[in-house]
Amino acid sequence: MEYCKQLSEEFKIKEEYAQNIINLLDEGNTIPFIARYRKEMHGTLDDQTIREISERLGYLRGLDKRREEIFGLISGLEKMDDEIAKALDGAKTLAELEDIYRPFKPKRKTRASVAKEKGLEPLADMISAQDNINIGEEAQKYIDVEKGVESVEDAVQGAMDIIAENISDNAEIRKRLKSIIRYNAYLVSKAVDPEKDSVYTVYYDYRELVSNVPGHRVLAVDRGEKEEFLKVGIEIEAEICLGVMQRFFIKSDNECSELIKKACEDAYDRLIFPSVEREIRSELTESADEQAIKLFALNLRQLLMQPPVKGHAAIGLDPGYRTGCKLAVVDATGRVLDTAVIYPTHSEIQIKKSKQTLKDMIKKYNVEIIAIGNGTASKETEMFTAECISEIDNKVSYMVVSEAGASVYSASKLAAAEMPDLDLTLRSAVSIARRLQDPLAELVKIEPKAIGVGQYQHDMPQKRLSEALDGVVEDCVNTVGADLNTASPALLSRVSGVNAAVSKNIVAYREENGAFTSRAELKKVPKLGPKAFEQCAGFLRVPESKNPLDNTGVHPESYTAAKQLLELCGYDLTDISKGNIGGLLQKAQKIGLENISEKTGVGVPTLQDIIKEITKPGRDPRDELPPPLLRTDVLDIKDLKEGMELKGTVRNVIDFGAFVDIGVHQDGLVHISQISQKRIKHPSDVLKVGDVVNVRILKVDAEKGRISLTMKF
């Protein structure tokens, strides 16, 4: 297969770019490296598109591998002919290939295989020819008591079983029927026990066209079936499919063709429909899984790219009832300064003591921000915190952060190595504080699927989910970059070209030899060879380096070009350190980017990146995003009234809407119909995790803890 041609057509890019991407991937280059430092070779595609191309390339190669395997298997049976070879060459999906291979596939014992053992295949072939024959007379010839064919009826039935299986194995008819069922059948579900209440009551009598079913409903009925609340299936009028089958197979109007008609009915009811039903349901689930994984990945990307709250000491509060609320103070770099356990939900005396402890910590360490985990007792802890900060002069604000995965992390080897002197419950409080200071640096320590910004993530194919989410983490880390002298092993291991072993070697080298003084020093790290250096160097920052380019996203391979650019525009490297570089872009444009590109030997896209990086050394792309919403007071759900207007933070985007934190323990739901005045296909077209939005209360159900919101004003 000409992969570059097919990828070019599917992704609407030049064939040359598609071929370059294939070559770059095959040479062992990472996707972040290709996206950032090989822009001229692919037309400035982003990392997400290149990742999709990589995945599609993998599928196409797997398709060709299976095509070759099937060709070999059929040839080995000496059944290969021009028609089968042409069909194999034309197959566009794995399902099509398997349908072609189906008649030749070794089968377990079937009614047809039993009939063949009885020697009834010639009779089946005779009937299939649909000539004007006396079936009774012909069938008489095959009666053999020893073989279990005791009558004409036995012989005809056995021949019919063979014909039914042949019909079922016909790749062309299966292809046609699948298409008809996909567009005309209904996905239906019924209650196993209509009297039994469950979260699936809306699906107790549900029916929707297969072609229209949204992914989240597919996943809902799948789960309802798995938990034995629902019976789920696909329904279509059999006559629609039988009509197509009969027109395809019936060639005459005689006794044989009547038997073929009956064989079609048997093949459809017993063999084809159950098989196609399974396939289509599997396709629906796979498609729904893929949509859910993409949404999870999108939400994760937005969560990881939340702006950090830099330069402030922070307190992390991990709420709890019986065992108390764990408190940790960290400095602006995330280093642990102090810990405590307070009891804001216990007796009046304990509440008073807890208040004093929190106030003392705030004053002692000049804390300006507090992060509160959103788990058990979060609401009470939030109210306690709001009351506390209203009673002191220090300017302090707080934010409720997701503590998803914090307990898993605190009990991990990584957390034990980072904080060996702390109890695991206190490590969780430290993690919560750091999540507010730098979400990306902290959340990379947790398995992505434990972060909890998807839907039905536990029902997803876990390998595919992990691959997709790991790709998002890798893209985010490399978009932001990492400080070579402060990054944790977990963060370093996500940098392009750096694996877990090399990340540990970097930290070990740092501890043994002190801070890195240049990017070039990376070459001294054990197991970090030339290829790994090429892949990772541009994403690692060294603020302490004498060469200011080491604290930018300019790749070392472009340092000479960067210096030439500076000289042409009347600057040198010292101007970067002094911050005297503001007019660089204007001067470069005056000279002409094409002219500079020719003189420096780098393409215009790379040149533009160099200018952007030099102008803002140490730039963090997250700083350009709106800051997170910090609060100083708290609301109770009972305080909410219909029509009330509030500001909130989007916590999760799902297929049917978005959940928004409005400063109440329970997030409110903005249904897709309430997001925009214009009709939208999906909530993610308008909203992303971390967005600060204005909402109005539509309805409040305090007993069930449900809040309905609108963004339509």
Structure-token match 């996203």, residue found: 553
The 3 state secondary structure assigned to 347-383 is CHHHHHHHHHHHHHHHHHCCCCEEEEECCCCHHHHHH
Calpha distance 389→359 (Å, rounded): 8
Judge if 90 and 211 occupy the same domain.
no
List CB contacts of 183: < 8 A, sequence separation 6 or more.
210, 211
Judge if 427 and 576 occupy the same domain.
no
97: domain range? 3-104
Judge if 95 and 62 occupy the same domain.
yes
Give the pLDDT of residue 214. 92
Calpha distance 295→687 (Å, rounded): 12
Calpha distance 458→439 (Å, rounded): 23
Tokens of 356: 């004093």
Residue 132 lies in a domain: yes
Q: CA-CA-CA-CA torsion for 491, 496, 499, 505, nearest 10 degrees? A: -70
Structure-token match 């140490």, residue found: 618
Calpha distance 458→296 (Å, rounded): 12
The answer to whether 473 and 426 are in contact (CB under 8 A) is no
Judge if 343 and 415 occupy the same domain.
yes
564 closest CA partner among 608, 611, 599, 613: 599
456 closest CA partner among 285, 303, 304: 285
Judge if 567 and 540 occupy the same domain.
yes
Calpha distance 348→1 (Å, rounded): 75
Give the pLDDT of residue 111. 95
49 closest CA partner among 2, 26, 94, 17: 17
Give the pLDDT of residue 454. 66
Give the pLDDT of residue 455. 67
Give the pLDDT of residue 558. 97
**Last residue in a domain, options 624, 645, 663:** 624
Instruction: Give me the number of domains the chain comprises.
Output: 5
Judge if 121 and 234 occupy the same domain.
yes
Calpha distance 606→604 (Å, rounded): 5
Give the pLDDT of residue 39. 97
Q: Is 460 exposed, middle or buried (0-12, 13-18, 19+ CB in 10 A)?
A: buried
The answer to whether 56 and 48 are in contact (CB under 8 A) is no
Residue 575 lies in a domain: yes
Mean pLDDT, consecutive 10-residue stretches, the chain (713 aa), reads 91 96 97 97 95 96 97 95 94 93 90 96 96 93 94 96 96 95 97 94 96 94 96 97 96 94 97 96 94 89 89 94 94 94 93 95 95 87 91 90 85 88 92 93 88 73 89 94 93 95 96 95 96 97 94 96 95 89 91 95 95 89 80 77 89 91 86 92 90 92 88 91
Calpha distance 281→450 (Å, rounded): 27
List CB contacts of 450: < 8 A, sequence separation 6 or more.
404, 405, 408
The answer to whether 303 and 625 are in contact (CB under 8 A) is no
Residue 481 lies in a domain: no
Calpha distance 568→117 (Å, rounded): 86
Judge if 579 and 601 occupy the same domain.
yes
Judge if 146 and 274 occupy the same domain.
yes
Give the pLDDT of residue 514. 94
Q: How far is CA 291 from CA 52, 454, 457, in A?
A: 14, 11, 11
Structure-token match 């980072």, residue found: 418
Helix axes 82-90, 94-101, angle to 10 degrees: 160
Calpha distance 19→544 (Å, rounded): 40
pTM of the model: 0.83
The CATH number that applies at residue 378 is 3.30.420.140
Give the pLDDT of residue 417. 87
User: What are 560-573's pLDDT values in tens digits?
Assistant: 999 999 999 999 99
Give the pLDDT of residue 609. 95
Judge if 150 and 293 occupy the same domain.
yes
Judge if 333 and 380 occupy the same domain.
yes
**Last residue in a domain, options 243, 271, 297:** 297
Residue 467 lies in a domain: no
The CATH number that applies at residue 78 is 1.10.10.650
317 closest CA partner among 257, 259, 358, 273: 358
User: What are 142-193's pLDDT values in tens digits?
Assistant: 999 999 999 999 999 999 999 999 999 999 999 999 999 999 999 999 999 9
Tokens of 192: 């196993």
**Last residue in a domain, options 297, 331, 346:** 297
490 closest CA partner among 447, 456, 538, 450: 447
List CB contacts of 590: < 8 A, sequence separation 6 or more.
none
Residue 417 lies in a domain: yes
Give the pLDDT of residue 2. 87
Beta strands in 551-705 (DSSP E): 645-654, 657-661, 668-671, 692-701
